[in-house]
Amino acid sequence: MRLAIFGLGRMGANMVRRLSRGGIEVVAHNRSPDPIDALVADEANVIPAYDEDEMFRQLEEPRIIWLMLPAGAVTGQTIERLLPRLKPGDVLVDGGNSRYTETIRHAARVEEAGVHFLDCGTSGGVWGLKNGYSLMVGGSREAFSVIEPAIRVLAPSPDSGWGHVGPVGSGHFTKMIHNGIEYGMMQAMAEGLAVLRRKKEFDLDLAQITELWREGSVVQSWLLDLTAEALRSEGQELDQIRPVVADSGEGRWTAIEAIDLGVAAPVMTLALQMRFASQDDEGYGNRVLAMMRNAFGGHAVERGGSEEGS
């Protein structure tokens, strides 16, 4: 089997490595050449493609092109550029984190030309190369059957961790909700550890506690494994880590979807809001709250910061 991976960031490059080591030939294409060179130097089944013309020349019909690109404009523009060169029966896979509504629109354009379109929600991060990827694929069963051999290699095992979950859009929708759940799990774990740390008189060793929770505990999980390892390596004060947590967009989309569907999802939504709070360097809302408490109750306002405000 041979397919192209277009987009060799951390996830895309590791997927190429896992496919190559599983015996699948991969045409590797990227905007910049360095990731291509690195893969060709390290892996046996990687065929370089330094431009799109070369990528198409290296593929046999039906051609499979798997996009691992940033969601949004980049993915949309790439699909529009590739579409005139694709033929009926070819398969285009969007394996990035596109919003499922955009995916449905892309699929309509692509399938109108007789080209198959699949959306693949991909989870596993930087550990996917070693552990395999959880793959949630949306689209027709006919198209899925074309890429299934690659799916079995990318997954944690040939028979687990992957699935055809439904029609076009369902793969990215499933991955979006997965990420919303992830937000909630991470927030709960972070809050619990913060409470443990604040109980100073017990002098708790959080690295020890998270380590012991990894075996036999109800909260044992891969997230807990990663947390225990980080606390052991970084030290529990984490004083070299800035308290700023980014959000990639899928948590926002999950909260919006819950609102649109009328589904109560307070944990996932609050976890997203807490990420917003961590990104707020100005803290204007809290300044307003302090001012109001002072105005109606005479509560003291802590002043500081710039000389003008002191």
pTM for the whole structure: 0.90
Active-site residue, 182 included: yes
Q: Could you give the percent of the chain with pLDDT greater than 90? A: 84
Active-site residue 130, yes or no? Answer: no
Catalytic residue among 182, 234, 237, 250: 182
CATH code matching the domain that covers 176-278, chosen among 1.10.1040.10, 1.20.120.160, 1.10.3720.10, 2.30.30.90: 1.10.1040.10
CATH number for the domain whose boundaries are 2-166: 3.40.50.720
| Three-state DSSP class for residue 93 | strand
Out of 102, 175, 250, 257, the active site residue is: 175
pLDDT(90) > 90: yes
Sequence-distant (6+) residues with CB within 8 A of 123 are 133, 134, 135, 136, 175, 178
| 176-278 matches 2-166 in CATH topology | no
Which range (56-65, 202-211, 252-261, 295-304) has the least confidence? 295-304
For 115-154, the pLDDT digits (tens) are: 999 999 999 988 999 999 999 999 999 999 999 999 999 9
Can you read off the two tokens belonging to residue 260? 């649109």
Residue 166 class from Cβ within 10 Å (0-12 exposed, 13-18 middle, 19+ buried)? middle
pLDDT given at position 305 = 61
From the list 52, 136, 146, the residue with the least C-alpha distance to 92 is: 146
When the pLDDT of each residue in the chain is averaged and rounded to a whole number, the result is: 94
User: Would you kindly state where each structural domain of the chain is located, as residue ranges?
Assistant: 2-166, 176-278
- Do 75 and 69 contact (CB within 8 A), yes or no? yes
Question: What's the rounded Cα separation, in Å, for the pair 208 and 137?
Answer: 39
User: pLDDT, tens digit, for every residue of 171-225?
Assistant: 999 999 999 999 999 999 999 999 999 999 999 999 999 999 999 999 999 999 9
